[in-house]
Amino acid sequence: MSKSVLFQVSPGGNLQGKIRVPGDKSISHRSIILGSIAEGVTYIKGFLEGEDALATLEAFRAMGVNIEGPDQGEVVVHGVGLDGLKKPEKALYLGNSGTSMRLLSGLLAGQSFASTLTGDASLSSRPMRRVTNPLAEMGAQITTTENGTAPLQINGTSGLKGITYPMPVASAQVKSCLLLAGLYAAGETTVIEPAPTRDHIERMLNGFNYPVQRHGNQITICGGGKLIATDCDVPSDISSAAFFLVAASIAADSNVVLQHVGVNPTRTGVIDILKLMGADINIFNERVVSGEPVADIQVRSSQLHGIDIPEHLVPLAIDEFPVLFVAAACAQGQTRLTGAKELRVKESDRIQVMADGLQILGVAAQPTDDGMIIQGGPLGGGEVISHGDHRIAMSFAVAGLRASEPITIQDCENVNTSFPGFVSLAQSLGLNIEVGQS
């Protein structure tokens, strides 16, 4: 049996320093997708060389796109145009990456060839009907398992037609999937958001000279145009920066600067929530890079206090709740999260898995159907299981800063899906973390 990676975190530590965390995962995926179907050559800088974004990159190579790199975050994509992709020789394996599978399903629905999308055990248990149902309304031919999960068999068709689709859940993956299908559909495709979700696809489509219109909560694209290659400078991922926003807030005598972080307002819920809890966070050097807001962020130690997390911030911080639960465990008083049922269908059931791990550390964490109630208090130590979920593993590493005993975190190999180099960067700031094997 192959050995599994574990993290060992010793208690305490103060964080000091200036770092740049790796590139944004969502933007990295989209830069490969749009670069591949554009006309001309797209130069990407700051690309996230994590397994998820690399899965997308390999999928397009398998469909005949010439992609150079990645080399220190630089990638050159020789676009083949909207109709230039080739039938892949075998199933496209997308590892742990929900974004790859959901976005590609929309794109592949409109191709002139059939394809199959597969993934690892976690991805193969995640809900796919949220994309296959609206795609079927557009005329797509896609089959899932009986449970609505991968593998997805996609029989590409030239007969897609635009629809107007009110999304039942606030999902940027579903929105992006339908807009990509909309590139190939006759007429207009309109997606209606029940709440704002990350808008990277709209910004990037416009950057590739493809018009996308927003009217209130409705986003519309019209099929039949073309994308023109452009340069993409990918900012650092605020979802990776989030571990250090919490870490420097909860550790004593800490002062950290995170450089060149993407601060798109559809992603900054984590900053809003931490500020409501009393965090000392400063945003400066704000600028716009490749159509995305970017800034440097300074964070210093503070005494956090519990809050009721406003539900409108949930989609804007959807990936940051594992580490926000750690912040809540270190805060004075009670923190209550509601309206976040989506967390149950991420890379793991993030409500259950975080509650289980926090309880092992002695925290009063009570999972609810759509959130969690956490009573702040002292953290002990122990052995927690991340269930192969990258963000759970990194969140418990951060918890070590306030633990009274060592924490061992099992099943950490997937940290490489979103944050290669996490351990050495965390060590460089002062986190007492070592990698081991079990």
In this complex, which beta carbon is closest to ligand S3P, that of residue 218 or of residue 424? Answer: 218
- Copy the structure tokens of residue 267: 């992603």
Options 26, 302, 414, 417; binder of ligand S3P; rule CB under 6 A: 26
Tokens of 300: 């210093």
Stretch touching ligand S3P by CB under 6 A, among 71-79, 86-94, 166-174, 393-401: 166-174
Say whether residue 342 binds ligand S3P (CB under 6 A).
Answer: yes
Query: Any contact of residue 318 with ligand S3P (CB under 6 A)?
Result: yes
Strand duo 188-192 + 164-166: pairing: parallel
Smallest separation (angstroms) from ligand S3P to the CB of 314: 10
Residue 9 CA to residue 163 CA, distance in Å, equals 51
Confirm if 280 and 300 have CB atoms less than 8 A apart.
Answer: yes
- Nearer Cβ to ligand S3P, position 197 or 348? 197
- By CB under 6 A, the residues from 194 to 223 that bind ligand S3P are 197-198
Distance of alpha carbon 7 from alpha carbon 386, whole angstroms = 10
Q: Can you tell me which residue has the tokens 């059931």?
A: 349
User: Residue 105 interacts with ligand S3P (CB under 6 A)?
Assistant: no
By CB under 6 A, name the one of 173, 335, 410, 417 that touches ligand S3P: 173
Q: Which of the stretches 168-176, 208-216, 226-234, 259-267 binds ligand S3P when contact is defined by CB under 6 A?
A: 168-176
How many residues contact ligand S3P, by CB under 6 A?
11
Candidates 31, 42, 99, 395: give the one binding ligand S3P (CB under 6 A): 99
By beta-carbon proximity to ligand S3P, the closer residue of 172 and 412 is 172
Find the part of the chain contacting ligand S3P (CB under 6 A) among 82-90, 114-122, 170-178, 268-276: 170-178
Residues 6 or more apart in contact with residue 24 via CB below 8 angstroms: 48, 200, 234, 235, 236, 237, 238, 239, 262
For position 290 contacting ligand S3P by CB under 6 A, the verdict is no
Residue closer to ligand S3P by CB (options 173, 220) is 173
Q: Is 417 in the site for ligand S3P (CB under 6 A)?
A: no
Catalytic residue among 319, 356, 369, 370: 319
Would you state the structure tokens that stand for residue 398, as one six-digit string?
């951060």
Quick check: 128 and 149 in contact, CB under 8 A? yes
User: Does residue 172 bind ligand S3P (CB under 6 A)?
Assistant: yes
Residue closest to ligand S3P (Cβ): 26
Instruction: State how far the Cα of 235 lies from the Cα of 27, in Å rounded to an integer.
Output: 8
The smaller minimum CB distance to ligand S3P, of residues 172 and 403, is found at: 172
Let me know how long the chain is: 438
In the region spanning residues 145 to 164, those forming contacts with ligand S3P, defined by CB under 6 A, are none
The answer to whether 349 touches 372, Cβ cutoff 8 Å, is no
Q: Is 24 a catalytic residue?
A: no
CA distances from 297 to 46, 256, 268, 357 (A): 18, 8, 12, 29
3-state DSSP of 130-191: HHHHHHHHCCCEEECCCCCCCCEEEECCCCCECCEEECCCCCHHHHHHHHHHHCCCECEEEE
- Active-site residue list: 319
By the criterion CB under 6 A, which residues form the site for ligand S3P? Answer: 26, 99, 171-173, 176, 197-198, 318-319, 342
